[in-house]
Every structure is written in C-alpha cells, then in structure tokens.
Structure 1
Amino acid sequence: MALAEPERGITNGAGSATPFSDIIELNVGGQVYVTRYTTLTAVQDSLLWDMFKKKAPTELARDSKGRFFLDRDGFLFRYILDYLRDQHLVLPDYFPEKSRLQREAEFFHLRDLCKLLNPKMSEDNSINDEICQSDSEEPSATPVVVGSDCSRTLSIASTVRSPSFESKKSGYITVGYRGTYTIGRDIQTDAKFRRVARITVCGKTSLAKEVFGDTLNESRDPDRPPERYTSRYYLKYNFLEQAFDKLSEFGFHMVACSSSGTCAFSSSDPNEDKVWTSYTEYVFCRE
C-alpha cells in the first residue's frame, strides 16, 4: 500500500525509491504546472533531471503553497514541458519567441532541443564556404560585385533572406490610454492634465509580443496562446510616442483613432473644479 508523501501531489508506488511524488506541482515564473516525475527526469543530465534526481525535496526552492519554484519564463515553459514528454518540438505556425525559447532550452541544458531551435554551426560554416569559394553554385538572388568583400556579400544575402523579415504577417494592433484632466473655475485658465496611467494593447498575442517584446506587461493575461487575441495587455512605460515608434519600426501605420470624454462627477457648486476622464484609442495596421 502506498504511503502518503509529505510532498505536494499524488504518492509514488510502493516500489519507488525516490523521495518525490509521482505527480509534481511547479510554479514557473508565477505559472502553475502539474506533471509527472518521470516527465521532469526524461532527459538525463538536464537541469530538471539534476534537480529531481540528485537533490532532496528539502533542497529545492518552494513558493508559499509548497510548489517547487523556478524563476523562469512561465509562458515558454509549456514548450519545454511538451518537449520533455516525447522529445519532439511542435510550435505554432507563427512563433516569434524562438530565440527566447532557445535561451530557456540552454538554461535547462536541453542540448537536442537547442539543435532543433538553431541550425548547427558546422552547417552554417559549410554554406558560407560554398558561397565565398565556389563558383559552380546556382546564381544567388543578390548580385555579386567582383572585388567586393565576401563577408559584406553574405551580410546582404542574410538580410534579404532574413526569416524575421519574411515571416512578418499582416494584422491590427490597437493602443489605448485613459487620462484625466481638470477644468478650473475660470474657463479661461488652461486645463490641468494628469499623466497617462496606463497604455493598453489589444490585438493578436503574437503580434503584440513581436512589436513590444519585454516592454509588454502580460500579468493580466499571462497564459494566452500566440494565435489568440487579447485586450488585457499593457505597456511598462507611459509614453505614447515610444509606443508609436515601436509600431512604426515594425511596419505598422495608423489607420484610425477615436476619443471620448466624460465628467467624472457633477456638483451644483459653481466654484468647484470639474474633473473629466478621457479614453483614446489608436488603431495601427500592417499590410
């Protein structure tokens, strides 16, 4: 008969010698995952294998609810876990987080996953050698100027064939903000504006992350898949011009905007200032 483990999760079978439960709860960057012990230890010599094979439960960090804690990207860990289940990598059709996922794979010491995410350097070198030294290859899309530096030619070719450039997809992103302003008793005085409290971002998750990257706050909708839409993201800064610069940099242009204002409260006292609330949205498009 299996004995109850002091750890969180379902108990192991009677023949198991590990101090860990068969079902383990993880807190990865605020995201909770529940998986099997065998899944976490599927790849030998990985970071998770070392944690759960070579260490005791008391040696690992925990959160306030007793779950094992990892201070990593909670959104990308789902792909790490998927890979550990069967050692296959399956990503959405449009996945702009590949470089960040590779960084996570390197952190968890998953060498084979790193190879799937990034071509081998030996293959890259052989391709470069063929372009620079061989004159029998098929013509390149980039004209080659006699006497020009080979590395410069490669730089131009890589720019033309850049995956990030070719993978850009059309779509819309809406940027909005809510502000307040006070109109004084004397209507001739200037209105007093308060700073923008928060800039919201609405649109397809993958597009929002492509444009704003680490400056995007996902805490209100942290587990949204890349192909889904959201209206709960907001930026970590409060400058509209900074957001517009980022959108322009990634090929977006403004196609519409709207604004509304309402009086927060009204009073019969004519000497009392009027506080107004405004909400403004800007719609950007990339075709």
Structure 2
Amino acid sequence: MAQTDGQSFPEIVEVNVGGQVYVTSLDTLTAVPNSLLWSKFTQSAPGQLAKDSKGRFFFDRDGFLFRYILDYLRDRELLLPEFFKERKRLRKEADFFQLPELSRRLAAVSKDGSYAEPDGGEPEEAELTSPVTTTTTTTTISPSSSSDRALRSPGNNSGYITIGYRGSYTIGRDIQADAKFRRVARITVCSKISLAKEVFGETLNESRDPDRPPDKYTSRYYLKYNFLEQAFDRLAETGFHMVACNSTGTCSYGSNDPGEDKLWTSYTEYIFSR
C-alpha cells in the first residue's frame, strides 16, 4: 500500500535496529529500489511499521552490522575494517534487507574467511567496493606488518582501547602462606563504541551504557568473562599492541585477627593501540 496524504515519512528518520539507534535521511533508506527498506519507506504508511517505545521505527536485526548496510546505501561502496570477521553475518543482513549486489560482493569471500583471488586480484577491500580509479602508494614496512592488507578504511581502523580491572590476591593463614592467586571481579573496556564491538563482539556487556551510537565513546562497557589473557588474545588477533600500562599500589583489607585471610587489592589499566 503506498503512502497516503498526511502520512508521509519525515526527511530525517530515526531507526532502532536491534537496540542501536541510527539517524539518517529518507533518501538514504530508499536509495536501492526494491530493497526491503525501499519497500517499507515508500510503499507503506508510517503507522504500518513497527516502532519502539519512543516512536522510532524498529527492525529486529543486528544493530552493529547495520552501520555497514547504511554505508553501502549512501554510496554503493563497502569499506570493511581490517580483521573484520563477521562477513558471513553481514551477508545474512544484506540478504534480509534485499540488497543482492552487496550480498554478491560478500559472497566472494571464501568459506575459510580468505578472499578468493583466482587471478591474483586486488586486496579484499578493493573487490568489496564499486569499481573506481584508485592510486595506491607502496611503502616499505616491517616484516611483522607485511601481511597487512594494502587498503585500509579510514576512521574504522585506528584507535585505542583501555582494559581495566581491579585484582585481588588472597594470602591465607600461616599454614597456607603460599596460597596466592589472582581474582578478577570485572574487566572494563573504555574505547570508541564501534571499536569495542569489532574486537569483543558478543562477549561485550553493554547493559550499563545501552543505545549508544557507534561513533561515540564509552567507559562503562565490561566483558562477560574474567580472564585477562582471553581479552589480550582477542586484542592481538585484531591487530592491537599494548603501548602502556599503569597500576595503583596494593593495599590490604582484613581484620587484625591472625586467623583470618588478608586480601590485597590493586587497580590496573592496559592501553592498546592499532
């Protein structure tokens, strides 16, 4: 059913996609004819679409990946961040939103995550974008960086992530004087929203700072696990390197009763860069 008079969509549209709020133009949402968004926002009236409690149009899809859908709708190009590991899920989103050209480009990635280059083609991002004339500057880099892709998407790659935790060590009674081990109550994450989600994905707990736009920053996220090394492994896999760390001095808690354990605590932060 086409829109009726008095029930047209505004030029600036707020959409809630899986809890992530986006503000974009109606022209962007309807840029690809016969796509799902085009159908929703040209062939329906505003009252026919699902809305959240604040009146924003709601789609029960992956809110983080929707940013790449919007990027594609704006200029028909797709620049994925380096070490992006959710191409299969993004292709699923492209299929849902009925964007066959985007789905076709993503399908070019082989099942093992590497790009299929039968004739020694260009790096991955070059294929994912529309054909354009590109000038590439070759720079000598260190061996550790030689496997990096030549093309990088500006704004999505670089950044800092700070990992913080309050650790405690228990020193038992004299008979257990060697019984020391580290306890980590919670690992906090401070960074740009999109960067944190790219690195930690579904292991990121966003309950303390929900509905934040991807281009904003937060210091209230934390991880769903308590193993520092697991967080470090994930950061290393996505190309981050530790550049600094700091820690408070330890302080002890406990009674003067020698029969009770003493608890020593400290707060530590690790700063990673890419």
Fold conserved between structures, TM > 0.5: yes
- In structure 1, how many angstroms separate the alpha carbons of the residues matched to 2:159 and 2:43? 48
Residue by residue over 1:75-129, the C-alpha shift from the partner in whole angstroms, topping out at 9 and shown as x without a partner, is: 4434433443x543364885837725444323211123335556599xx99x73x
Of 237, 241, 255, the residue aligned with 2:225 is 237
Equivalent residue number for residue 32 of structure 1: 21
TM-score, normalization by structure 1: 0.55
Judging by fraction of residues, say which structure has more helix. 1
Matches within 5 A, 1:5-154: 17=5, 19-23=7-11, 24-55=13-44, 57=46, 59-84=48-73, 86-89=74-77, 91=79, 96=84, 99=87, 101-115=90-104, 128=118
Residue by residue over 1:44-84, the C-alpha shift from the partner in whole angstroms, topping out at 9 and shown as x without a partner, is: 22112333345555553322223221122334434433443
The answer to whether the 8 Å contact 1:261/1:276 transfers is no
Structure 1 residues 260 and 214, CA, compared in 2 at 3 Å: closer, same or farther?
Answer: same
The answer to whether the 8 Å contact 1:175/1:282 transfers is yes
Structure 1 residues 167 and 206, CA, compared in 2 at 3 Å: closer, same or farther?
Answer: farther
- In structure 1, how many angstroms separate the alpha carbons of the residues matched to 2:53 and 2:17? 13
Cα displacement (A) at 1:27? 1.2
Letter in 1 for 2:77: L
The answer to whether the 8 Å contact 1:27/1:69 transfers is yes
Equivalent residue number for residue 234 of structure 2: 246
Structure 1 residues 44 and 203, CA, compared in 2 at 3 Å: closer, same or farther?
Answer: closer
Query: How many residues end up aligned between the 2 structures?
Result: 232
- In structure 1, how many angstroms separate the alpha carbons of the residues matched to 2:29 and 2:57? 12
Q: Which has the larger radius of gyration?
A: 1
Identical columns (%)? 59
Matches within 5 A, 1:201-216: 201-202=189-190, 211-216=199-204
The answer to whether the 8 Å contact 1:201/1:234 transfers is yes
Letter in 2 for 1:196: V
Give unpaired runs (5+ residues) of structure 2.
121-145
SS for the counterpart of 1:196 is: strand
Letter in 1 for 2:213: D
- In structure 1, how many angstroms separate the alpha carbons of the residues matched to 2:256 and 2:192? 47
Higher relative contact order (CA 8 A, sep 6+): 2
Structure 1 residues 192 and 62, CA, compared in 2 at 3 Å: closer, same or farther?
Answer: farther
- In structure 2, how many angstroms separate the alpha carbons of the residues matched to 1:172 and 1:120? 28
Give unpaired runs (5+ residues) of structure 1.
1-14, 132-161
Residue by residue over 1:197-218, the C-alpha shift from the partner in whole angstroms, topping out at 9 and shown as x without a partner, is: 2223456777655543443445
Residue by residue over 1:144-169, the C-alpha shift from the partner in whole angstroms, topping out at 9 and shown as x without a partner, is: xxxxxxxxxxxxxxxxxx98666698
Letter in 2 for 1:17: D
